[in-house]
């Protein structure tokens, strides 16, 4: 029996893996503060992914784009990849080779991937799928607090609150054990849909505020207005611990609840009621504002996050015990994945790659000249969109990601991936992206190797190895080391043992914002709660900002942000808004969960959630196949009627592939700060599938 953590989302529920009667491992819940002994359906069935029948155990390679992938041996595959990478770099420079990582990789892999890109390839062209997931919250947190730890307090703190406002998150569906912490008497859910979480709020006397998609920034401005008019601003906190309130207020001054209602559709009375509930709880230092992907995945996602942070600052919530602002991370290592250098603009320790002192420190740990380190590269969608173009990369190495399904405007992304001279994917199954690749490298999965993850609270956890990988499979760390040696790196520079990498990561991150220098296997194994920063000579930090925020003057920043409409508008051809999200039974692109029989049976195909009147106008009934078309592409999905759906909006889960992929529709318009695409608002039309 091995105690470890779930392979999926950022709650990182603790579980035991133990042999069942058939000898195969089965997952059982284990006590832990975040999941309190609970698991969701994905967690319960997670061990089945270890034995999926189409598991890859030999490298695959194709001779040319027109031939099939065929099995080969590791030396042949790795020699071929290294030769092609060296040849392409010699021809077109190091930036012709690119790397794409994932918020699902362990801290050790995230760190090594960034180091591999900068040292073994010398390329600036590395980014990761977390750019699609949490980059707006990261940017919003950075500019408000000077530091981005999504939830700067333990999740268990939230359980005792009198009021919780949850914007753009649906944990009742996506991470059900978290609901144990959302028992506040006043639960206020902001979501255009009557989500499972919104229903919980209504059932318990809370509020569901349902703004038109793309207007929650306006709603946050309206709430700030109502908070001030209601006399709920914490004047002492604003004066002593923040700057910029009056400038931010100028942007909120016109957002009377009635005006806010006109733009968002949320009744003015609900806005005032929400402000009063939050304000009264804030007076008792007992209120939280939490945000998720629904606030972030917009071309104005960073400003939307800032608007919610402004509200929390006006109420005096952050930087105090019993109250706060936090962001609910999505991917399993959504927090750690953005700290160790697999992001285009970053070095380990959450350092900026264009900061000379950061470059000198990290180069010192790596034993290289800082001047040899490349600078910032393209963000995730911009990188994918440049592949195979005249000045874009001609090769990509991809770890832990499936952008053929998960990227916005995924048809366009698939055509860019197909335009590459060389696409190499490391995966344990033939995902949709792996199937397009020239070389596929079969790698170990979560329970077959150890490594650390950083959960949504910024707590570093250890995933323990519970099973031998199948013969023929290598770990991602082994693959990176094997390739690095073939690319001319000294063998000792790329360790394959996760604990050795963790120790190096600690040195590289020392002194940075996300400092892991005190994270050791012994401390992890002892069960110590290692919230970062974790220094060797200091206690971990479960609650940040209690004395001061991380800006040089110690104050948090209000940001002056304005509402603006979504990047594209509906019209006669595309009269509806499509918004996307997750289901309880599937995770991300579905490459893992679609292979679990129980989960596949529960949600076997894509669906589109539609109001009955909207469906009738389109000539559709429950159970029909619908065609949903945007300005970028189309998808098909089974009609599911919901009388609580908005008349102007349809919802599609994004876990399905091919002609059922929701991301065939989505808009890659980018946030100017975070470079987050606008997944949440696409203009579409709905019609019967011929």
Q: Which residues bind to ligand SF4, rule: CB under 6 A?
A: 6, 8-9, 11-13, 35, 39-40, 42-43, 175, 177
Nearest CB to ligand SF4, comparing residues 171 and 324? 171
CB contact set of 205 (below 8 Å; sequence gap of 6+): 185, 186
Q: Taking CB positions, which residue lies at the least distance from ligand SF4?
A: 43
Where in 143-219 does DSSP place strands (E)? 163-167, 186-190, 207-209
Nearest CB to ligand SF4, comparing residues 94 and 330? 330
Nearest CB to ligand SF4, comparing residues 39 and 608? 39
Least distance from ligand SF4 to the Cβ atom of residue 456, Å: 10
Q: Are 98 and 403 in contact (CB under 8 A)?
A: no
Least distance from ligand SF4 to the Cβ atom of residue 44, Å: 7
Least distance from ligand SF4 to the Cβ atom of residue 6, Å: 3
Nearest CB to ligand SF4, comparing residues 274 and 461? 461
Nearest CB to ligand SF4, comparing residues 177 and 377? 177
Least distance from ligand SF4 to the Cβ atom of residue 454, Å: 13
Crossing angle, helix 257-264 and helix 268-283, to 10 degrees? 120
How far is residue 480's CA from residue 486's CA, in Å, rounded to a whole number? 10
Q: What is the DSSP letter of 408?
A: S
Least distance from ligand SF4 to the Cβ atom of residue 53, Å: 22
Nearest CB to ligand SF4, comparing residues 52 and 435? 52
Count Cβ neighbours within 10 Å for each residue of 258-287 and write b for 16 or more, e otherwise.
Answer: eebbebbbbebebbbbbbbbbbbbbeebbb
Residue 522: other Cβ atoms inside 10 A: 7
Least distance from ligand SF4 to the Cβ atom of residue 209, Å: 25
Least distance from ligand SF4 to the Cβ atom of residue 292, Å: 13
How far is residue 436's CA from residue 423's CA, in Å, rounded to a whole number? 8
Q: Which residue has the tokens 């900068």?
A: 118
303, burial (CB in 10 Å: exposed 0-12, middle 13-18, buried 19+)? buried
Least distance from ligand SF4 to the Cβ atom of residue 150, Å: 15
Nearest CB to ligand SF4, comparing residues 302 and 593? 593
Nearest CB to ligand SF4, comparing residues 9 and 407? 9
Least distance from ligand SF4 to the Cβ atom of residue 623, Å: 29
Q: Which residue has the tokens 């508008």?
A: 569
Long-range contacts of 309-312 (CB under 8 A, 24+ apart): 309/140, 309/141, 309/144, 309/145, 309/559, 310/220, 310/224, 310/248, 310/252, 310/558, 310/559, 310/561, 311/165, 311/220, 311/223, 311/224, 311/227, 311/278
Least distance from ligand SF4 to the Cβ atom of residue 656, Å: 18
Nearest CB to ligand SF4, comparing residues 40 and 263? 40
Count Cβ neighbours within 10 Å for each residue of 391-420 and write b for 16 or more, e otherwise.
Answer: ebbbbbbbbbbbbbbbbbbbbbbbebbeeb
Nearest CB to ligand SF4, comparing residues 39 and 266? 39
Q: Which two tokens stand for residue 313?
A: 């600052």
Where in 277-411 does DSSP place strands (E)? 287-291, 324-327, 346-347, 351-352, 395-399
Beta strands 126-128; 97-101: pairing state: parallel
């Amino acid at each position: 029996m091995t105690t470890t953590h779930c392979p999926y989302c950022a709650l990182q529920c603790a579980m035991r893996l133990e042999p069942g009667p058939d000898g195969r491992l089965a997952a059982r819940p284990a006590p832990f503060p975040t999941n309190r002994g609970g698991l969701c359906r994905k967690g319960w069935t997670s061990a089945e992914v270890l034995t999926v029948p189409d598991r890859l155990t030999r490298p695959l390679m194709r001779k040319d784009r027109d031939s099939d992938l065929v099995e080969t041996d590791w030396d042949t595959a790795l020699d071929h990849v290294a030769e092609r990478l060296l040849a392409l770099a010699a021809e077109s420079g190091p930036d012709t080779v690119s790397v794409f990582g994932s918020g699902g990789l362990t801290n050790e892999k995230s760190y090594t991937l960034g180091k591999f890109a900068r040292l073994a390839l010398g390329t600036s062209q590395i980014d990761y799928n977390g750019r699609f997931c949490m980059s707006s919250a990261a940017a919003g947190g950075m500019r408000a607090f000077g530091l981005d730890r999504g939830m700067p307090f333990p999740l268990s703190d939230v359980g005792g609150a009198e009021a919780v406002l949850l914007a753009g998150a649906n944990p009742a569906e996506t991470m059900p054990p978290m609901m144990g912490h959302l028992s506040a008497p006043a639960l206020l859910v902001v979501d255009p849909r009557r989500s499972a979480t919104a229903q919980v709020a209504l059932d318990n006397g809370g509020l569901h505020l349902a703004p038109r998609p793309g207007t929650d920034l306006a709603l946050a401005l309206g709430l700030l207005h109502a908070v001030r008019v209601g006399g709920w601003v914490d004047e002492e906190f604003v004066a002593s611990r923040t700057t910029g309130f009056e400038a931010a207020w100028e942007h909120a001054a016109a957002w009377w609840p009635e005006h806010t209602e006109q733009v968002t559709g949320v009744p003015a009375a609900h806005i005032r009621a929400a402000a009063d509930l939050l304000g009264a709880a804030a007076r008792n230092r007992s209120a939280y504002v939490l945000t998720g992907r629904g606030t972030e995945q917009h071309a104005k996602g960073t400003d939307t996050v800032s608007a919610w942070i402004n509200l929390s600052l006006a109420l005096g919530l952050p930087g105090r015990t019993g109250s706060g602002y936090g962001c609910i991370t999505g991917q399993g290592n959504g927090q750690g994945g953005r700290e160790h250098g697999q992001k285009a603009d970053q070095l380990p320790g959450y350092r900026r790659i264009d900061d000379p002192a950061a470059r000198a420190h990290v180069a010192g740990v790596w034993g290289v000249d800082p001047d040899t380190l490349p600078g910032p590269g393209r963000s995730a969608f911009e990188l994918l969109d440049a592949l195979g173009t005249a000045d874009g990369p001609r090769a990509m190495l991809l770890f832990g990601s499936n952008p053929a399904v998960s990227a916005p405007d995924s048809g366009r992304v698939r055509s860019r991936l197909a335009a590459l001279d060389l696409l190499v994917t490391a995966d344990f199954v033939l995902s949709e992206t792996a199937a397009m690749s020239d070389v596929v490298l079969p790698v170990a999965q979560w329970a077959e190797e150890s490594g650390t993850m950083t959960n949504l609270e910024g707590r570093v956890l250890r995933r323990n190895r519970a099973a031998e990988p199948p013969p023929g499979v290598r770990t991602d760390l082994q693959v990176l080391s094997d390739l690095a040696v073939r690319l001319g790196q000294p063998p000792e520079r790329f360790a394959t043992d996760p604990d050795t990498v963790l120790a190096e990561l600690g040195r590289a991150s020392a002194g940075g914002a996300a400092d892991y220098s005190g994270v050791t296997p012994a401390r992890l194994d002892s069960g110590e709660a290692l919230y970062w920063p974790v220094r060797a000579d200091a206690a971990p930090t479960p609650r940040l900002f209690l004395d001061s925020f991380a800006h040089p003057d110690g104050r948090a920043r209000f940001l002056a942000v304005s509402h603006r409409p979504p990047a594209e508008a509906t019209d006669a051809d595309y009269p509806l808004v499509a918004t996307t999200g997750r289901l309880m039974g599937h995770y991300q692109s579905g490459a893992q969960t679609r292979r679990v029989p129980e989960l596949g049976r529960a949600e076997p195909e894509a669906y589109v959630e539609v109001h009955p009147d909207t469906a009738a106008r389109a000539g559709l009934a429950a159970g029909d196949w619908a065609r949903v078309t945007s300005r970028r592409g189309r998808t098909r999905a089974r009609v599911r009627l919901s009388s609580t759906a908005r008349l102007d909006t349809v919802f599609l889960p994004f876990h399905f592939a091919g002609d059922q992929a929701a991301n065939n529709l989505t808009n890659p318009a980018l946030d100017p700060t975070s470079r987050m695409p606008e997944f949440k608002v696409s203009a579409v039309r709905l019609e019967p599938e011929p």
